[in-house]
Amino acid sequence: MKIQYAEMTNHLGSSAVRDILKVTQGKDIISLAGGLPGEELFPLEAVRDAYNRALSGSASSLQYGLTEGYSPLREAVAARLTRQGIPVEAGDMLLTTGSQQAIDLFCKVMLDPGDKVLVEAPTYLAALQVLNSYRADIITVDSDEFGMLPEHLEEQLMLHRPKVLYTVPTFNNPSGGSWSKERRERTVELCRRYNVLILEDNPYGEIAFDDAPGAYPPSMAAIDRSSGEDPCVVYTGTFSKIVAPALRTGWIIGPSGLIKVIARAKQAADLHSSAIDQRALHELLLHFDIDAHIRLISREYHSRMKLLAGELSGERWQDASFQEPRGGMFLWLKLPAGTDTARLLPFAVEQGVAFVPGEVFYAAKPLKNAMRLNFTHTPPELLPVAVRRLEAALESYGRTLAGAVDTLV
Amino acid sequence: MKIQYAEMTNHLGSSAVRDILKVTQGKDIISLAGGLPGEELFPLEAVRDAYNRALSGSASSLQYGLTEGYSPLREAVAARLTRQGIPVEAGDMLLTTGSQQAIDLFCKVMLDPGDKVLVEAPTYLAALQVLNSYRADIITVDSDEFGMLPEHLEEQLMLHRPKVLYTVPTFNNPSGGSWSKERRERTVELCRRYNVLILEDNPYGEIAFDDAPGAYPPSMAAIDRSSGEDPCVVYTGTFSKIVAPALRTGWIIGPSGLIKVIARAKQAADLHSSAIDQRALHELLLHFDIDAHIRLISREYHSRMKLLAGELSGERWQDASFQEPRGGMFLWLKLPAGTDTARLLPFAVEQGVAFVPGEVFYAAKPLKNAMRLNFTHTPPELLPVAVRRLEAALESYGRTLAGAVDTLV
């Protein structure tokens, strides 16, 4: 059999994330690569109780459910979002298999080959994979530490007439950065003017290190929905980071018409996501103080980030730079220009430490000398060990480079 | 905001299934419409125990998992399939969100707009929806009660050079029919000759009413894999009908290369399906006699089918015809030519009974006078009531038709 695949298979991209995950499965490697939460913080007992309760009612809990998801959970999530400044009805929400599926279904119903999509750089790798799989034309908007530059954004809007802008404006994956309130407002305003839907992907927003009120700007969805205009922000979130990934439950909210179209696409894609996970999450929200749990993990992740940042501030790291993230799961480390982190990776793995080379997070013109470091998965006592191993890797990488130069001479 | 959707949204088709499901939610309606298993037969207690065990180990059970699915469950399913005459390694299998996702991902990586796909008529409605969403050119092959007609199949293979043949050859949804061994062999042989992949969709195969050994022909996958040639049959199955749908766990097996490509598409689509459902199913297979359970539900479904068939054999049904299915969940009832079951449906709903009009199961040239009756979801004591209501609906439909003719005269 000679299988002739669809054209899309030529655009599925390299499977960098998978290769990375495979590397992290090596037993002696400390992985700062995966975007994984800390396992020892999972509320295992509360989750087990929640499944027990979810399965203690009638057998109809095991029947087929609605494509849109289990209604009581949709209502509970809608109420949480409303409390977070994003007023939404359960009817304008769809539950998905993680927020990854929300991104995929949104792109599926929005994008034909060649349609233009604006992204920031760097941005979420698996979103780039989805955009590529639908053969979108991905266009980068220049950013600084406060978000996309409005002048360049407007230029790209006028020039390319994109359909969609995709962003992770809060505790970005991979950069850890967050957009300012002004840039959020300006972006919403410009996108509305140019009839562009914004997909605000917010898996990390609740992992916030500063719990003073008003410490962070509102989400773009909140800004959008307080404007009194038709919503132009589609918003996704997930329980993966605040409860656990294995439950595979995310959500997408947006204009009613769009949510209905996505529901039809989801019906063809899988009928519905796990109804048992959704019932268990609903029970969890009823019987477990999820906000206290989020404060607990945020405090712990904050202290791990501080520990990693401290280790990266020693004398041997004088030529490197980073901004301390104010939340989320990642620290974006820049090495001196000329360093190629993709070529550094095998040296790191040999020393027993893994990271993600920065270049994979760019649609074009990748930064070669950055790397993404995850600080949530590794137990704190191993973070200094990981940094020592990185140092050793840099040393042998430098020696090899010097050797190569010698050979050339 | 004026949202410009992707072209695919124009091909998502009518949401007939959803409208049907909505009808069935009416409290006083006996629904023979949905493709639902009987809830009172779900092994709720065993399922609850299985989740308990799945969540009694380490917290790593809540972490992200492999895109391909939880390895111990893949191995257990591979072993079951091997015992069923389909020798397969876990590595050539992917776990999906129900077998619906298996169909969707397979079509996603195989079909470009305009690619030709052969189907039987009638066939599974949601497969037609998927094929339409990828804008496939759907071509019908003529069938009789033994399966596709080999002469017509070869004609269509030569004429259209299709990429894929989709079939539910065992206890078909909606017709309840099953292909003979000869037709299965001939179809595999012809498809291999013309380099066409067969997608054998087998959600119902284990719901078999006759438990004598050798009572049924082997699956097309078994025939394919015993040929010694490269496999040309891709095979999907699911726990939805033999355990419960809410766990949303199906599988797809096929050539290694294809499974790897599907895994990359699934990674972009949702990273992976619920890992907790997969762990629970693995525990269930270890601690619960699933084969005894399948025998139990098959016996019960058989007796419900017999009851329904008996009710449809009375004097008032002399002009109707059907074949008793030898397994599965559906009875395909043909009314006299000239009856339009889509127009009959509102009369039926008014009388408090629902079915699916046969016409929705055709890509072209629908049979107007057939209907699909599900006999697994309705408690047996209500089946006679449902048939009485159908009779009343036929009567008032007939009267209205006669009235319309009078008016014309």
| pLDDT score, position B400 | 86
Residue B250 and residue B239: Cα distance in Å, rounded? 6
Q: Three-state SS for A38? A: coil
Tokens coding A216: 């962070």
Element housing B164 (H / E): strand B164-167
Beta strand A370-374 pairing with A330-334: antiparallel
Q: Name the residue ranges covered by the structural domains of chain A.
A: 7-42+291-408, 44-287
Residue B335 and residue A41: Cα distance in Å, rounded? 61
Q: Across the interface, which of A8, A267, A274 has its CB nearest the CB of B248?
A: A274
Question: Residue B244: closest CA among chain A residues belongs to which residue?
Answer: A62
Query: From the centroid of its chain, how far is CA B380?
Result: 22
Which amino acid belongs to residue A402? Answer: A
* Residue B256 exposed, middle or buried by CB count within 10 Å (0-12, 13-18, 19+): exposed
Interface of B with A in 320-359 (CB under 8 A): none
Q: Across the interface, which of A59, A97, A245 has its CB nearest the CB of B63?
A: A245
To the nearest whole Å, the CA of A115 is away from the closest chain B CA by: 9
Query: From the centroid of its chain, how far is CA B325?
Result: 14
Architecture field, domain A7-42+291-408? Alpha-Beta Complex (3.90)
Q: Confirm or reject contact between A4 and chain B (CB < 8 A).
A: yes
Question: Residue B193: closest CA among chain A residues belongs to which residue?
Answer: A1
CA distances from A267 to A71, A100, A111, B16, B275 (A): 16, 16, 18, 11, 21
Does the structure show a pLDDT above 90 at B19? Answer: no
CA torsion sign for A64, A66, A68, A74 is negative
| pLDDT score, position A24 | 60
CA torsion sign for A108, A111, A113, A119 is negative
| Interchain proximity A267–B129, CB inside 8 Å | yes
| Interchain proximity A261–B5, CB inside 8 Å | yes
| pLDDT score, position A13 | 73
% pLDDT > 70, chain A: 95
| Domain at B45-287, CATH from 3.40.50.10490, 3.40.47.10, 2.20.25.160, 3.40.640.10 | 3.40.640.10
Higher pLDDT: A34 or B371? It is B371
Instruction: State the alpha helices, DSSP H only, in B97-178.
Output: 98-110, 125-133, 150-160
| pLDDT score, position B28 | 87
pLDDT (mean) for B241-247? 97
| pLDDT score, position A409 | 46
pLDDT (mean) for A316-335? 97
Q: Is there a common fold for A7-42+291-408 and A44-287?
A: no
To the nearest whole Å, the CA of A101 is away from the closest chain B CA by: 5
What number of other Cβ atoms are within 10 A of residue B212's Cβ? Answer: 7
Residue B125 and residue B121: Cα distance in Å, rounded? 10
Identify all chain B residues contacting A115, using CB atoms and an 8 Å cutoff.
Answer: 6
| pLDDT score, position A186 | 98
Q: pLDDT by residue (tens digit) across B52-99? A: 999 999 999 999 999 999 999 999 999 999 999 999 999 999 999 999
Q: Three-state SS for B196? A: coil
Does the structure show a pLDDT above 70 at A26? Answer: no
Q: Confirm or reject contact between A3 and chain B (CB < 8 A).
A: yes
Q: pLDDT by residue (tens digit) across B249-280? A: 999 999 999 999 999 999 999 999 999 999 99
Residue B143 and residue B262: Cα distance in Å, rounded? 30
Does the structure show a pLDDT above 60 at B190? Answer: yes
- Do residues B162 and B116 touch, judged by C-beta distance below 8 A? yes
| Domain at A44-287, CATH from 3.40.50.2000, 3.40.1190.20, 3.40.640.10, 3.50.50.60 | 3.40.640.10
Element housing A77 (H / E): helix A71-83
Which amino acid belongs to residue B342? Answer: A
| pLDDT score, position B16 | 57
What number of other Cβ atoms are within 10 A of residue A306's Cβ? Answer: 14
Q: Which residues contact B273 (CB under 8 A, 6 or more apart)?
A: A97, A248, A274, B69, B95, B96, B97, B101, B248, B249
Q: How confident is the model at residue B25 (pLDDT cuts 50, 70, 90)?
A: low
- The rounded mean pLDDT for chain A is 94
Residue A263 and residue A105: Cα distance in Å, rounded? 9
| pLDDT score, position A20 | 55
pLDDT (mean) for A249-255? 98
| Interchain proximity B5–A247, CB inside 8 Å | no
Q: Which parts of A205-248 are beta strand (E)?
A: 233-238
Q: pLDDT by residue (tens digit) across B132-163? A: 999 999 999 999 999 999 999 999 999 999 99
Q: C-alpha angle with apex A291: A290 to A292, nearest 5 degrees?
A: 90
Half-sphere exposure of A142 (CA within 13 A, CB side): 6
Question: Residue A43: closest CA among chain B residues belongs to which residue?
Answer: B59
Does the structure show a pLDDT above 60 at B409? Answer: no
pLDDT (mean) for B339-348? 93
Identify all chain B residues contacting A275, using CB atoms and an 8 Å cutoff.
Answer: 245-246, 248
Residue B1 and residue A366: Cα distance in Å, rounded? 33
Indicate whether this complex's ipTM tops 0.90: yes
Interface of B with A in 378-407 (CB under 8 A): none
Q: Which residue in A332, A272, A328, A354 sits closest to A24, CA to CA? A: A354
Cα end-to-end distance, chain B, whole Å: 52
Q: Across the interface, which of B64, B265, B275 has its CB nearest the CB of A12?
A: B265
Does the structure show a pLDDT above 90 at A173? Answer: yes
| Interchain proximity A246–B61, CB inside 8 Å | yes
